[in-house]
Structures are given as C-alpha cells and as structure tokens.
Amino acid sequence: MNEISRSQALFDKAKQFIPGGVNSPVRAFRAVGGNPLFIKKAKGPYLYDEDGNQYIDLINSWGPMILGHAHPAIEEAIREAVSASPSFGAPTAREVEMAELICSMVPSVEKVRMVNSGTEATMSAIRVARGYTGRDKIIKMEGCYHGHGDSFLIAAGSGALTFGYPDSPGVTKGTAQDTLIAPFNDLKAIENLIAKNPEEIAALILEPVVGNMGCVIPAEGYLQGLRELCTRHGIILIFDEVMTGFRLAQGGAQELYGVKPDMSTLGKIIGGGLPVGAYGGRKEIMDSVSPAGPVYQAGTLSGNPMAMAAGLVMLKHLKAHPEIYGQLDKTTTKLVNDMGDEIRKAGFNFTINQVGSMFTLFFTATKVTDFGTAKTSDTALFAKYFQAMLQQGIYLAPSQYEAMFVSTAVDNNIADKILTAHRQALKSF
C-alpha cells in the first residue's frame, strides 16, 4: 500500500471547510472508495501526490493536458503574461489572435466569445440559441454532461450520474420542463420530440462523441441525421466539444465526422490547463451576442491574458503538428487492444470504446451505445480495478462513467508500465 498519510490528513481538514472536501465532486473518489490523493505537482506523464508517490496520469486534468503536464512552452508563455499583470479587464491583442486561430481550426466557428469554463460556454450557447430563434425548449441526450448549468442538470452524466443525482435539487420545475431528453444514438426519439413540440425547440445539444457516461461513439449516420433534422426544423445544432475539441482532431469531432453544427462549445485544451471556455458558431447567430446584439453575456476575467497566452501556445502547437493526432490514435489503439487481450485472458466481461485518444473500459459484455447500456457496467468491479491500478501507480478517472485521456507524453515505456499494472490488477481480484 502506498503511504498516503498527508493526503488523508488534508482530506480530513478539507472536509471541515469545503463541502465534501473537494471543489468538484468526482475528485472525492466516492464511487471507487478510499481517500482522494492531494496532488502537489506533475510533469510529463506523471503526477506526484503530497506524500511523494508518483503516478502515471490517465486523467490529464480531465482532458486539457494533451501534451502532458508542465509543458515548457506553456509554462514560459504564462510566466511572460503574468509579468505584464495577470488581468486588465480590457481588450488585448492575444484575444484577437486566439479568436482568429479558433475560427481557422474549428469548421463551424466563424465568430467566437471566450468565457472561463465549459459550463459558462454551454449556458451561454443555449441562451444565444434561445434568443436567436425566439424558442424556449432544448433537447439534450440522456447521460451527456454539459457542465452544471440548470438546464443541463436533467439526466446528466459525469459526476451527477456517478453520485446518483442526474436531476439536481435546486433546478426549478420550469427550467426542467424546457429540457427535453432523448437517448443518445436514437434518431427516432428526436423525431418524436420534434413532432410533439413543433416550432418550440431552440437547440439540440450533445457531445458528438460522449465522454461523460464513459466514452460512447456516435453510430454511423447519427450525427448526419441530427444535422438534417435540425436544418429541416430550424433548430440550432450545438456540438459540445469541451472534451473533444482539439483532442479528436484540430477541428474536433465535427472535423473527424464531417458534420458541421451551427454552434460549438469549447473548453479544456483551449486553455492549456488554465480555466477557459469558448462558444462560437455561424456569424449571424453569434452577432446576436451583446454588444453586437441583444443577447446578454459577459465576464470580468474573460479572455484573461494568462489563459490566452497558455491557450495560444497549445493551439499553435497542435496546428503546427497535425501528426500528433495520428500518433495519439496509434498509441491509444495499441494500448486498448493490449488491455483488451489481457482482460479476455483473465476472463472478465468487458467492452472498450475508443475514439482517438479518448477511451473507456466498461466492465460489461453489452455493447455500450447509450446511457442505458453504459449502466449495465459492473461499477463494483470497476472500483476494485481502479484501486488495484492506483496501488501500482496508475491514476485513472475515479468512476466508470468517465473517459480516460492519453497525452503525447505516453511513450512505449509508459504504455508498457500501464499494461503491466493492468495485468497485475486483473489478477488481484
């Protein structure tokens, strides 16, 4: 057993002053048991906890650290920005460069507004869609997570699902009524909702590749089908690419699958590890945002200089090195194939879903295509697996209903270490 007495003491103290001891629920390790690790630093593929233990990180800050931790160029950019003052609350040249860069990389984005988190991005995007269409209702998919905005805490994934509160107290009935729910990968269900709510639906929002009920892949023709339905019925199609943006391709899932939404929400990688989000889309829609138009949305720290500096280095790096995506895909495919071989040998039921550098190992024999099938997973078995991996120095997402993220810091040596730990873990229970 790793010595984790400092993490334990910190968690005990944290619980006195922070609800549940953490600033974001999944960090508390509730679904897998045990004490969460308090992290002191990270470099490349490794995390180091307060007790000095080293772990290979397959969470990567829930996605942003696609180049591994503490990348020197990003560190340098943040240092340079901070020396000119961390915030002005005024326009800067970096914001313009950032906006132009995003528009050049993400197919659906002609104009973009920077915000401070993925939650802000999705909340703002649906307000714009409602303002633009003059309609109130939205459609979201069961098990997708779009941050903690009220409208999205209906059948929500990620921590809300892990903690058993997919519908959160505190969301008013009125708000909940305006969110219509459909299963992922089910076009017929969308047609039915549209037929029952004619001319009432402002937007349809989804994770084009889901990360938040574990990784779930869009069926052949599903995204195209949604595109056609939304076009036919004047519904704004929003791809929430907070996870998939700049991860599955430079232009995210919309580039990978060749389907252009009307609006996109972005986060995570876009800030290089700093708290950033963005929403953007077609010019005429985005021009309804204040002060160009009447839909209000603002932010004191939006476009923050340090965040822009870090994000610019990250995005420029990805743009200059498109080969990264092929490499990440190759590394991840080999890793999940090898992991799959070992589980098969060990005799456990499993399904692995992978797109590029995102994957989830579900402990179920059922093909996972939506929320219902994701829920067939044996979460108790996942908890045992998680703990066994942790003991061998591999830090996985602490819930079955999350995706794992591979960074460019995973080389053959790191992949071998993950595989060895995986083999041992499967023998231990």
Catalytic residue annotation: 145, 240, 268
Per CB under 6 A, contacts with ligand PMP among 109-148 are 117-119, 122, 145-147
Residue nearest to ligand PMP (CB): 118
- Using DSSP's 3-state secondary structure scheme, residue 46 falls into strand
Binding mask 46-85 for ligand PMP (x = CB under 6 A): ----------------x-----------------------
Burial of 265 (0-12, 13-18, 19+ CB in 10 A): buried
User: Which range of residues in 76-84, 205-213, 219-227, 299-307 is near ligand PMP by CB under 6 A?
Assistant: 205-213
- Using DSSP's 3-state secondary structure scheme, residue 60 falls into coil
Q: How far apart are CA 75 and CA 69, in angstroms?
A: 10
Q: How far apart are CA 86 and CA 175, in angstroms?
A: 37
CB closer to ligand PMP, 127 vs 146: 146
Structure tokens at 300: 């004191």
Near ligand PMP by CB under 6 A: residue from 32, 213, 243, 306: 243
Near ligand PMP by CB under 6 A: residue from 267, 271, 305, 398: 267
Cβ of residue 158: shortest distance to ligand PMP, in angstroms? 6
Cβ of residue 196: shortest distance to ligand PMP, in angstroms? 26
Near ligand PMP by CB under 6 A: residue from 240, 255, 342, 370: 240
Near ligand PMP by CB under 6 A: residue from 49, 57, 207, 262: 207
Burial of 291 (0-12, 13-18, 19+ CB in 10 A): exposed
CB closer to ligand PMP, 145 vs 371: 145
CB closer to ligand PMP, 208 vs 422: 208
Could you give the C-alpha distances from 84 to 77, 80, 87, 91, 417, in angstroms and in order?
A: 11, 7, 9, 14, 42
CB closer to ligand PMP, 29 vs 350: 29
User: Which range of residues in 240-248, 252-260, 350-358, 363-371 is near ligand PMP by CB under 6 A?
Assistant: 240-248
CB closer to ligand PMP, 67 vs 215: 215
Of 115, 111, 129, residue with least CA distance to 280:
111
CB closer to ligand PMP, 342 vs 402: 402
Q: How far apart are CA 28 and CA 408, in angstroms?
A: 27
Could you give the C-alpha distances from 343 to 299, 317, 360, in angstroms and in order?
A: 48, 36, 14
The interaxial angle of helices 222-233 and 187-196, nearest 10 deg, is 20
Cβ of residue 425: shortest distance to ligand PMP, in angstroms? 25
Cβ of residue 232: shortest distance to ligand PMP, in angstroms? 26
Q: How far apart are CA 245 and CA 264, in angstroms?
A: 9
Please list the residues that pair with 41 across neighbouring strands: 48
Q: How far apart are CA 233 and CA 229, in angstroms?
A: 6
CB closer to ligand PMP, 49 vs 402: 402
Of 123, 104, 94, residue with least CA distance to 304:
94
Binding mask 143-182 for ligand PMP (x = CB under 6 A): --xxx----------x------------------------
Cβ of residue 241: shortest distance to ligand PMP, in angstroms? 7
Of 254, 155, 277, residue with least CA distance to 207:
254
Residue 311 binds ligand PMP, judged by CB under 6 A: no
Of 156, 122, 60, residue with least CA distance to 403:
60
Cβ of residue 133: shortest distance to ligand PMP, in angstroms? 21
Binding mask 274-293 for ligand PMP (x = CB under 6 A): ---x----------------
Contact 231, 271 (CB under 8 A): no
- AA letter at 368: V
Near ligand PMP by CB under 6 A: residue from 59, 202, 223, 242: 242
Cβ of residue 87: shortest distance to ligand PMP, in angstroms? 19
* Chain-centre distance for alpha carbon 107: 19
CB closer to ligand PMP, 45 vs 271: 271
Residues that bind ligand PMP (CB under 6 A): 62, 117-119, 122, 145-147, 158, 207, 211-212, 240, 242-243, 267, 277
